[in-house]
Amino acid sequence: MSRRLLLGGSFNPPHLGHVAMAKKVAEHYGVSGVTFVPNFVNPLKELSVSGEHRVAMLRLCLPAGCEILTFEIERTEPSYTIDTLRYLKTQSDDELLWVIGADCLQNLHLWKDIKGILNLANFQLLTRPDSALELPDTLIELMGDRGRDMIDNVIELQMPYSSSEIRQALGRGQDPEGLDAEVLSYIRKERLYEIDKQDSIS
């Protein structure tokens, strides 16, 4: 059985940190690349740029060997990980591994049908070096030993870029660090983020 690594998110916009995450995880598992899964509407966030624009930007900075799954974008409704995993299981018997950042831990128990998710996939946790990680009690109850294994097997990566900070800089007319040159050119051409509703949303 082969393993498929999945990196979901808003990618609003995609930045060099996302590229580094994909390369790091692929290297760790010895695979050619990961599958980026941009969501249409994140139930926990408001998005100011369409899925079509975010997919177009991802294509401009996609690392070699990686691919984009547009399932959630094409559904044009709120994106839930459980629905994506069920869809993928109808396509193949691959082992599914969903890559998440440490900042997701506190809200992971709020994901729709988290028990169903845990039946279909495992999580790979990415964290900044020297971060203190602690599994919330709600996840200990849900995951048991799997949760402790997730904490014990984190992949460390320095992640200096933030999509929200990049949006804020773009809204001020600045050229922020952390964007691929082609992505920045696309943003300027399409006049994205000039007046961004998400300046205070991370």
State the CATH number of the domain containing residue 142. 3.40.50.620
In a domain, 200, yes or no: no
Q: How far is 202 from 199, CA to CA, in rounded Å?
A: 8
In a domain, 9, yes or no: yes
Q: Which two tokens stand for residue 12?
A: 């609003």
In a domain, 157, yes or no: yes
Angle between helices 51-61 and 16-29 (to 10 degrees): 60
In a domain, 24, yes or no: yes
In a domain, 201, yes or no: no
In a domain, 197, yes or no: no
Q: How many domains does the chain have?
A: 1
CB 98, CB 123: distance < 8 Å: yes
In a domain, 44, yes or no: yes
Does this model's pTM top 0.75? yes
Please list the ranges in the chain whose pLDDT falls under 70. 1, 42-47, 195-202
pLDDT for position 201? 38
Which tens digits make up the pLDDT trace of 35-70?
A: 999 998 765 555 678 999 999 999 999 999 999 999
Give me the domain span that covers residue 167: 3-190
H helix intervals, the chain: 16-29, 51-61, 71-75, 81-91, 114-120, 137-143, 145-152, 163-171, 181-190
